Chains A and B, each alone.
Chain A
Amino acid sequence: MVKWTEEERCTIREVWEKVDVDEIGPQILTRVHIVYPWRETYFGTFGDIFTNTSILNNPKVAHHGKVVLRSIDKAVRIMDRIQETHAALSRLHYECVDPDNFKLLGDCITISIACKLKEALNPQVQAVWQKFLCAVVEAMNSQNK
């Protein structure tokens, strides 16, 4: 289980307070689909996600981005039980999503948040934020073991 200092908890919450799920969620999934296009394989029901224009205009991509960030919101609120609270999500993705994709998604979340927070995401804040994302990625992979 990941241990958090009080300072780390504050840092993560301060980063998260600046994130508007409805604004950033769609940006993250759009970025993931454009930067890592092989992820299309997991979204067969999303319709046209084969060009940058179609990805940018696809409402299902935007919606799923918000869904992803709402699960991150849960992790921020219940930081000490991330594995437990994400066990069901991990089981849902188990056997259909290659586990490396959660890390790629995490990297895109960091990049999108960097665009939003700019210099407020200083090296120390980035370190804590990425520690938090690693915990979420590990939780999403927990049912693979």
Chain B
Amino acid sequence: MSLTAKDKEVVKAFWTKLAPKADDVGADALSRMLVVYPQTKTYFAHWKDLSPGSAPVKKHGKTIMGGVADAVGKIDDLTAGLLDLSELHAFTLRVDPANFKILSHNILVVLAIVFPNEFTPEVHVALDKFLGALSRALAEKYR
């Protein structure tokens, strides 16, 4: 299920709308992940405050969306473009790659909330495929 030229066009076009709100989207998506899927808190046990909208959540949400922005720029070869990030997640952070899908779902929920009219089924499928491809690229170095 690789990204078609149309998928990439849709992702890039939607990203121009999303970019000004990316930090807030990241913070909200991460907040939701921690609340709706509490098992994910295990990766952030060193934070003082994991509650929605807390300072560490906002900061990390911004970091995550910075990674997504980078991926949009490297959409033509995500595997090569995200090798360093993949190594980071595999060997340093040791995040179970099953969690990439969980975070992706929460990003999509936030996009539906923030862009209820623009998040059409056509945009949804392109973004779902993009986040899926991004997740696979992040899992590249795991084994």
Say yes or no: is A130 at the interface (Cβ < 8 Å to chain B): yes
Contact with B along A101-145 (1 / 0, CB 8 A): 000000100111011111101111011001000000000000000
Residues of B with Cβ closer than 8 Å to A?
28, 31-32, 34-36, 52, 105, 108-110, 112-113, 116, 119, 121-122, 124-125, 128
Asked if B124 and A31 make an inter-chain contact with CB atoms under 8 angstroms apart, the answer reads: yes
Asked if A110 and B124 make an inter-chain contact with CB atoms under 8 angstroms apart, the answer reads: no
A-B pairs with the 10 shortest C-beta distances?
A: A34-B121, A114-B112, A123-B35, A115-B116, A127-B36, A35-B125, A31-B121, A123-B32, A115-B112, A111-B112
Q: Chain A contact residues: over half helix, strand or loop, or mixed?
A: helix
Asked if B108 and A111 make an inter-chain contact with CB atoms under 8 angstroms apart, the answer reads: yes
Complex Cα spacing A107 to B131, Å: 15
Please name 26 pairs of A and B residues whose Cβ atoms are closer than 8 Å in the assembled complex, sorted by A.
A34-B122, A34-B124, A35-B121, A35-B128, A52-B121, A107-B105, A111-B108, A111-B109, A111-B112, A114-B110, A114-B112, A114-B113, A114-B116, A115-B112, A115-B116, A118-B113, A118-B116, A119-B113, A121-B109, A121-B113, A123-B28, A123-B31, A123-B34, A123-B36, A126-B109, A130-B36
Say yes or no: is A30 at the interface (Cβ < 8 Å to chain B): yes
Asked if B109 and A114 make an inter-chain contact with CB atoms under 8 angstroms apart, the answer reads: yes
Min CB distance A61 to B, Å, is 11
Complex Cα spacing A31 to B122, Å: 8
Complex Cα spacing A108 to B58, Å: 26
Contact of B124 among A35, A118, A123 (CB under 8 A): A35
Of A107, A111, A121, A123, the most chain B CB neighbours within 10 A belong to A123
Q: Which residue of A lies closest to B32 (CB)?
A: A123
Of A107, A117, A119, A126, the most chain B CB neighbours within 10 A belong to A126
Q: Which residue of B lies closest to A124 (CB)?
A: B35
Asked if B122 and A52 make an inter-chain contact with CB atoms under 8 angstroms apart, the answer reads: yes
Min CB distance B44 to A, Å, is 15
Min CB distance B100 to A, Å, is 15
Asked if B35 and A126 make an inter-chain contact with CB atoms under 8 angstroms apart, the answer reads: yes
Contact of A110 among B34, B109, B121 (CB under 8 A): B109
- A111-B112, A121-B109, A123-B34 known; 11 other A-B pairs, CB under 8 Å? A34-B122, A34-B125, A35-B121, A35-B125, A107-B105, A111-B109, A114-B110, A114-B116, A115-B116, A126-B32, A130-B36
Asked if A30 and B112 make an inter-chain contact with CB atoms under 8 angstroms apart, the answer reads: no
**Across the interface, which residues of A come within 8 angstroms of B125, CB to CB?**
34-35
